[in-house]
Amino acid sequence: MFSQESDILHKLRLIEGLKADLLTEVGKLYQAMAHNKREAIGDALAQLIISAFVLGRRLGIEYPEMEEIVNTRLGHNIKQETETERWFGDMSEYRRYLRQKR
């Protein structure tokens, strides 16, 4: 029984660590943007994406499902004509990019 509790605590600590990583990377992103450091911006954004996907997996959403959720969300944002989409077409561009990769 003790090992089962230990396993649960280990998983909870991992999830809490991933949540903290997300917040830390947002802070790093803001710092990088404030100093206009392109490489640091890219690194922070990449780590945010990685942490989000890993956190999703720890919460029961496997990577392929997460990719499908992202694709569905893109479609929703395109239909809702968010400012980003309306002004620049970024959502459609990203969706095209993802489809080309497949």
> What pLDDT, in 10s, does the model give residues 37-92?
999 999 999 999 999 999 999 999 999 999 999 999 999 999 998 898 999 999 99
Q: What does the buried/exposed string (b/e) look like for 60-98 if buried means 16 or more CB atoms within 10 Å of the residue's CB?
A: eeeeeebeeebeeebeebbeeeeeebeeeebbeebbeee
Q: Which residue has the higher pLDDT, 84 or 25?
A: 25
- Cβ atoms of 53 and 18 closer than 8 Å: no
pLDDT exceeds cutoff 70 at 26: yes
pLDDT of residue 22: 97
Structure-token match 């004509």, residue found: 81
pLDDT exceeds cutoff 70 at 1: no
**Rounded to the nearest 10 degrees, how much is the dihedral formed by the CA atoms of 44, 83, 78, 42?**
-10
